[in-house]
């Protein structure tokens, strides 16, 4: 059979959030674009990650609300959870967003969409099924998938990952989660609130990449909701079958449940790309420079494929960086100090820039840390939900990192992400007028806490005030 040959300006390999952003932006600005995707359009975020997980968390929050109203004078009741219906809500959320990421939409924009996986056959060509695409520029946007470690016995039992748990229609009786990172803990809390018993096994420290002070607030809440979290519990082997799973950790402890979720991390999807044929250096991910170019200057890598922070919004940010370079020939570099991330447990945990430990390593005695607790925020008090705080790491009046733990932390962190992206000083946040009463006031009050000792504990300020007061008639 004859191969079809296509010539284009840009060939995007991968139809997840980053690849779709590049394709949409480039074609609407006049470039010819070919998009290759052998799996589902929308990638992991739409089908297995961000969207379904947040939809399931919303269902779990509704169930939890029925059990936690006594402090408001509302008698708690045991919710009757229809787990399959909760999954229907998840499927409905995906279906509502799907058209935005669909092949039909992108073809209407002018993108040539080929529903095949691509592999390089030369430095300037990719083969996808029965089509060979020659392009001026290529973008590797293949994302990542669940990493499943080679644990003895795992290959012999059924287990879940984030790619299969949302297909489950019957509620787990006792879910064992291996991995205490964001994905593992989000799914642990959601399933506990929907009625499952849950045990989390973490080989090191749960939420170990986050600020320990902030992570402790999340872990305390989860434990109060009767989620068993076992740290320093590296899994040694597993056994059992459908509906009955046993997990043994180093040291001999054993944990039994009905279902097993593996949530220990992600691996980059670069197998099958034949990167060596394209002259693209790689190890666990594609090697890129600050402009996201690979060792083949015609080829870029973005999102998870480029290594580093594995977030949907980072892939979207990368798309903007390389579009400036590919379409306009402008210098563009990716930087990350202003990139926030969030864990959507209840309470949420969000961070932008450096944690306290990272900032102390970098700035030493030049670092100042200020905090404002939600227990001093009137909206949080009125709502009876005061767990958490805003924590600001500052150097010479500029935030170098901010962490927030508490209700809506993922929303609240955006003010600080804006400030850091535009190199604003803390005074810009302090000068903000926030509507009362809102949780957003906590950001303003945290900024004010930075200036408080400079104003209220400064003898010179007090002397100036007395002089002015005595002078003014």
Tell me the β-bridge partners of 235: 249
pLDDT at res. 1: 63
Residue 94 in this model has a pLDDT that exceeds 70: yes
318-341 per-position pLDDT tens digit: 999 999 999 999 999 999 999 999
Residue pLDDT, tens place only, 357-402: 999 999 999 999 999 999 999 999 999 999 999 999 999 999 999 9
- CA 450 – CA 392 distance, rounded (Å): 9
Judged against a pLDDT cut of 80, whether residue 238 lies above it is answered with: yes
CB 245 within 8 A of CB 199: no
Q: What is the mean pLDDT of residues 220-244?
A: 97
The model's pLDDT over 116-137, given as tens digits with 9 standing for 90+, comes to 999 999 999 999 999 999 999 9
473: Cβ–Cβ under 8 A, 6 or more apart, which residues? none
Q: What integer pLDDT is reported at residue 467 of this predicted model?
A: 80
Given a cut of 80, is residue 473 above it in pLDDT?
no
d(CA 34, CA 40): 16
Burial per residue of 298-312, b for 16 or more beta-carbon CB atoms within 10 angstroms, e otherwise: bbbbbbbbbbebbbb
Distances 167 to 47, 63, 243 between C-alpha atoms, Å: 11, 20, 16
pLDDT at residue 111 is higher than 70: yes
pLDDT digits (tens, 9 = 90+) for 453-471: 876 677 777 777 778 878 8
Q: What local confidence, expressed as pLDDT, does residue 455 receive?
A: 66
SS3 at position 9: strand
DSSP run (H or E) holding 237 = strand 235-241
Strands 368-373, 389-395: pairing is antiparallel
The predicted pLDDT at position 466 comes to 76
Q: What is the mean pLDDT of the chain?
A: 96
Q: How confident is the model at residue 236 (pLDDT cuts 50, 70, 90)?
A: very high
Helix (H) or strand (E) holding 34: strand 33-36
Predicted pLDDT at 462: 72
> pLDDT above 70 covers what percent of the chain?
99
The separation between CA 341 and the C-alpha centre of its own chain, rounded to angstroms, equals 5
Count CB atoms within 10 A of the CB of residue 79: 15
**pLDDT > 90: percent of the chain:** 94
């Amino acid at each position: 059979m004859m191969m079809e040959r296509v010539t284009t300006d840009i060939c995007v390999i991968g139809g997840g959030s980053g690849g779709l952003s590049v394709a949409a932006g480039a074609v609407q600005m006049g470039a010819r674009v070919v998009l290759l995707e052998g799996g589902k359009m929308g990638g992991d975020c739409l089908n297995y990650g961000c969207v379904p997980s947040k939809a399931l968390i919303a269902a779990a929050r509704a169930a939890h609300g029925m059990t936690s109203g006594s402090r408001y004078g509302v008698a708690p009741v045991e919710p009757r959870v229809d787990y399959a219906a909760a999954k229907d809500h998840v499927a409905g959320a995906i279906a509502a967003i799907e058209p935005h990421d669909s092949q039909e939409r992108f073809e209407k924009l002018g993108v040539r969409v080929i529903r095949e996986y691509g592999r390089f056959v030369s430095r300037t060509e990719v083969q996808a099924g029965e089509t060979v695409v020659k392009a001026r520029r290529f973008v590797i946007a293949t994302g990542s998938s669940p990493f499943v470690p080679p644990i003895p016995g795992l290959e012999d039992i059924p287990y879940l990952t984030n790619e299969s748990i949302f297909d489950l229609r019957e509620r787990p009786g006792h879910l064992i989660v291996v991995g205490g990172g964001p994905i593992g803990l989000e799914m642990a809390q959601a399933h506990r609130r929907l009625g499952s018993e849950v045990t989390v096994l973490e080989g090191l420290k749960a939420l170990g990449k986050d600020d320990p002070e902030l992570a402790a607030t999340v872990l305390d809440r989860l434990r109060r909701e009767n989620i068993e979290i076992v740290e320093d519990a590296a899994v040694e082997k597993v056994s059992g079958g459908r509906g009955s799973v046993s997990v043994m950790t180093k040291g001999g402890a054993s944990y039994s449940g009905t279902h097993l979720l593996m949530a220990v991390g992600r691996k980059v999807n670069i197998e099958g790309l034949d990167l060596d044929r394209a002259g693209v250096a790689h190890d666990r991910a594609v090697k890129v420079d600050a402009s996201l170019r690979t060792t083949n200057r015609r080829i870029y890598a973005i999102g998870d494929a480029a290594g580093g922070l594995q977030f949907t919004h980072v892939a979207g940010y990368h798309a903007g960086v390389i579009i400036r370079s590919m379409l306009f020939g402008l210098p563009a570099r990716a930087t990350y100090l202003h990139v926030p991330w969030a864990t959507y447990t209840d309470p949420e945990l969000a961070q932008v820039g450096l944690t306290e430990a990272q900032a102390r390593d970098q700035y030493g005695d030049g670092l100042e840390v200020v905090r404002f607790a939600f227990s001093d925020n009137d909206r949080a008090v009125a709502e009876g939900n005061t767990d958490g705080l805003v924590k600001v790491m500052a150097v010479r009046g500029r935030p170098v990192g901010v962490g927030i733990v508490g209700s809506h932390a993922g929303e609240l962190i955006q003010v600080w992400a804006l400030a850091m992206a535009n190199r604003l000083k803390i005074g810009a946040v302090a000068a903000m007028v926030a509507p009362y009463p809102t949780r957003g006031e906590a950001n303003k009050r945290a900024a004010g806490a930075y200036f408080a000792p400079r104003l209220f504990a400064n003898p010179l300020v007090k002397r100036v005030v007395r002089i002015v007061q005595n002078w003014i008639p």
